[in-house]
Structure 1
Amino acid sequence: MVPRDKEDWNRIFKGGVAAGVFGGIVVALFGVVANVLEGRDFWAAFKGAGAPFLGERAMQPGFDSTAVIVGVLSHMAVSIAWAIPFAMLVYGLSRGATLVSSVLWGFIVWVGMYYVVLPMVGLQQIAASVPVGMAIVEHVIFAVAVAVGFLPYQRLKMVLPAH
């Protein structure tokens, strides 16, 4: 592993936040499209992440400004929380390796969300309501978007052997 200095950690953190926001936006848009195509309320893509704080209110159909704000902020916080560790793990890899690593990260995020985070906050019914294949696809799309969002912050360092 390449030693990391303060500048590296700043790039990792800033890049992780930016990547998390980008990944969160991409997966929210994916959720909107999926909801519309399946004839469901598209607002659910913006409100669902607020359910641990708002309960049933976040699950009601239609627009609710409080539920949308809480849901979007919660969704972005969770997205950033998954993106920063990804940035820490892949920092210094090639751009190609960063993108390939994101596919594996998508599976890790899916397992973490569906078998740890959602049950921990009492939302296991959400996990159970989404077909496994669709859930995996959604999380891999998120992780690839995170990788793309992190690429501008990626730093490739050459460590030359001492002579």
Structure 2
Amino acid sequence: MNKTALVRGAAGGAVGGLLMAIWSMIAIALTGTGFWTPINLIAHTAFPSAPLGGAFSAPALVIGLLIHFAVAIGFGVVFAALMTPARGRRPTTATSAGFGLVYGLVIWLVMHFAVWPAADVVAASAFSLWVFAVGHLIYGLTLGLLVGPVTRTVGPAEPHSQIT
């Protein structure tokens, strides 16, 4: 993977993470649980004194957003690496979008049913299953639409632009 694909994967992950966060915060607020609940639950994984409900907490906001965007950017870079054409094959926008949706679904399954419960069962069980699932589909679709078509045009890396 070259630097261009790496940067675009990170940027796509950040945009996808932003849209996922906006969706989750609005959807959870509409259920009556509280606008800040998603960020608080993420923060609770590393900051156990973070509220589990919708109360605002500045430390939880900072910690929750840092964790959320670090993970979103990391998964975006992995997606870009997977979408970088091999042997001249270039995915279409529809293929990229479809792969992004599947990628988001797989991330949701792994994170919701394995990683997050192992890290913080209280926070993981408090996050609405359907909101988390739709959020990951939004994230994956965003990656597919932003990163997939862009990596189609990324040609062979010049020796000086390769990341080793």
Q: Which residue of 1 aligns with 2:95?
A: 97
Structure 1 unaligned spans of 5+: 1-7
* 1:41-52 correspondence runs (5 A): 41-52=34-45
Whose helix proportion is higher, 1 or 2?
A: 1
Q: Which amino acid aligns with 1:136?
A: A
Identity of aligned pairs, percent? 22
Q: Which residue of 2 aligns with 1:136?
A: 133
Alignment deviations for residues 34-55 of structure 1 (CA, whole Å, 9 cap, x no partner): 1221112101233322112211
SS in 2 for 1:128: helix
Between 144-153 and 22-31, report the one with greater CA deviation. Answer: 144-153
Aligned length: 151
SS in 2 for 1:53: coil
Q: Which residue of 1 aligns with 2:106?
A: 108
Name the Cα RMSD after superposition.
Answer: 2.3
Q: Tell me the TM-score normalized by structure 2.
A: 0.79
Q: Tell me the TM-score normalized by structure 1.
A: 0.80
Structure 2 unaligned spans of 5+: 86-90, 157-164
Q: Distance in 2 between matches of 1:148 and 1:47?
A: 29
Between 100-109 and 132-141, report the one with greater CA deviation. Answer: 132-141
Q: Distance in 2 between matches of 1:131 and 1:73?
A: 21
* 1:74-89 correspondence runs (5 A): 74-89=67-82
Q: Does 1:71 align with 2:64?
A: yes
Q: Report deviation, 1:10.
A: 0.8
